[in-house]
Amino acid sequence: MKKIAAAIAALLAVSMALSSCSSGSENSSESPAKETSLPQTELQDMRDITASELVSEMKTGFSLGNTMDSTIGKNNGEPYEYETGWGNQVTTREAIQGIADSGFNVLRVPVSWGEHLSSDGSYTIDKAWLDRVNEIVDYGLDAGMFVILNTHHEEWLFPDEAHFEANSEELAKLWSQIAERFSGYNEKLIFEGLNEPRKRDTIYEWNGGDEEGQQVVNKLNAVFVETVRNSGGNNGKRCLMIPTYAASAMEKTFAAMEVPENDDKIIISVHAYIPYNFALASDNFTDYWSSSDPSCTAEIDNLMTTLKAYFLDKGTPVIIGEMGCVNRNNTEARKAWARYYVGKAHEYGIPCLWWDNGAYLGNGELFGIYSRDSGNWIFRDVMEGIMEGLE
């Protein structure tokens, strides 16, 4: 999530609050027992279907934020120390099953890899970290969900020509290892090459980028696709997600997007917290939203028609990999927003994945609606709004 890095301190405060009220908080200090024999090397049966066909089977999803994407590890030690570094508990099979049982059939697993790569130029992934990622992927698949696995807060990546050669080498070495580990998995596992590739800390970070940044993102997407396609196993037929610049939902980034030719297994990834002043803004925000007010619904409506024109009409499906609205003590409005947003996207065949960072107490970006510790929906009304949008 694009503002997580700036909110780490607030989220650590949320972690303390969660620990004090959570019945299973002791799990955060214990390494989870291995439940599977890793890696899984059996080549599973895999349907040779298009990305559009695959996406049509998706309803709505849950993005497991502030977990494996954490870049803070207590004492830089075991995987679970990173997994809990941003305030969440160790992920359990039961927590993922609870999400699936509520109607979510897509699990996005954001993963930051940079802190777990060797420094000798081979960029070898720490085996313990890869094993733990593998376990969580298996939790989702075993629950009957589609699983999207990505690279998330990769701070080494900067999309300009000066960094392209080094970045493309590291990206290829990283994805060749991920692709090899999961090469036997079937079509229900999707790879997402990059999260929000952008020129960080510049004027181009969140404005849709400049031409150089947009074109370098296209080239990095191509490196990812080529690397996975050449990695063997089932990866030649695997559906792959590629983002616009910064995963931006701006029309300028759609226009600049280059979709690989002669590959019908590509999905476009965008993130859209809209309307911004309701969904995400920390300044000049509003807690008001109504589906009967055109000023509230216009931006959502426009996004769907624009995605249709640029991608859907050309045979390339879209997944909104991150969406959500922060808690402002306005549950009724949030439920109405979720129902409308998911419903409008559903009309166009676009699955929406709620960004849940586990934060629902204190200050900061309070996107959490599900307690992974207790298995209860903290904001059941919001969850029900998501499901009602699919009806």
Compute the distance between CA of residue 66 and CA of residue 364 in angstroms, rounded to an integer: 13
Task: State the pLDDT confidence band at 73, using cuts at 50, 70 and 90.
Answer: confident
Residue 83 annotated to the active site? no
pLDDT 10s digits, 200-232:
999 999 999 999 999 999 999 999 999 999 999
Please name which of 251, 253, 236, 146 lies closest in space to residue 199, comparing C-alpha atoms: 253
State the residue for tokens 């972690």.
15
- CA 133 to CA 79: how far, in whole Å? 9
Q: Are residues 279 and 286 in contact, defined by beta-carbon separation less than 8 angstroms?
A: no
- Name which residue leads in pLDDT, 105 or 18: 105
Which candidate in 322, 332, 365, 384 is catalytic? 322
Within a domain: 45: no
Whether 212 is catalytic = no
* Interval 280-296 mean pLDDT: 96
* C-alpha closest to that of 265 among 53, 44, 46, 110: 53
**Model-level pTM?**
0.91
Cβ density class 296-324: b for 16+ within 10 Å, e for less: bbeebeebbeebbebbbeeebbbbbbbbb
Contact 288, 278 (CB under 8 A): yes
Spatial distance between the Cα atoms of 379 and 381, rounded to a whole number of angstroms: 5
In this structure, is residue 35 part of a structural domain?
A: no
Residue reference for tokens 């690397």: 227
| Mean pLDDT, all residues of the chain | 91
Closest CA to 275 of 256, 251, 302, 253: 302
Q: Look at residue 39 and tell me if it is in a domain.
A: no
β-partners of residue 182 are none
CA angle 197, 201, 205 (to 5 degrees): 45
> Which residues pair with residue 147 across a beta bridge?
107, 189
Distance CA 154, CA 390 (A): 33
Report the C-alpha gap between 373 and 83 in whole angstroms: 14
- CATH number for 299: 3.20.20.80
The percentage of the chain sitting over the pLDDT mark of 70, rounded to a whole number, equals 89
pLDDT of amino acid 35 = 56
For residue 38, the model assigns a pLDDT of: 73
- Is residue 3 over pLDDT 70? no
Q: What is the DSSP letter of 233?
A: T
- Higher pLDDT, residue 390 or 7: 390
Residue 152, in any domain of the structure: yes
The whole-angstrom separation of Cα 158 and Cα 72 is 21
DSSP 8-state secondary structure symbol assigned to residue 193: -
**What's the CA gap between 140 and 108, in Å, rounded?**
9
Q: Which of 192, 196, 299, 391 is catalytic?
A: 196
Is the Cβ–Cβ distance between 228 and 238 less than 8 Å?
Answer: yes
The H-or-E segment that residue 137 falls in is helix 127-142
Domain span including residue 303: 5-29+51-388
For residues 110 and 186, give the distance between their C-alpha atoms in angstroms, rounded to a whole number: 19
Q: Is 62 helix (H, G, I), strand (E, B) or coil?
A: strand
What digits encode the pLDDT tens for the residues 346-386?
999 999 999 999 999 888 899 999 999 999 999 999 999 99
| Measured CA distances, 343 to 108, 247, 318, 337 (Å) | 20, 21, 15, 10
Contact 142, 93 (CB under 8 A): yes
Residue 36 lies in a domain: no
* Cβ neighbours of 291 (radius 10 Å): 16
Structural domains of the chain, count: 1
Domain assignment present for 125: yes
Residues 161/117, Cβ–Cβ less than 8 Å = no
Q: Cα 191 vs. chain centroid, distance in angstroms?
A: 11
Whether residue 34 is contained in a domain is answered as no
In this structure, the number of other CB atoms found within 10 A of the CB of residue 219 comes to 15
CA distance 99 to 107: 9
Q: Does residue 42 lie in a domain region?
A: no
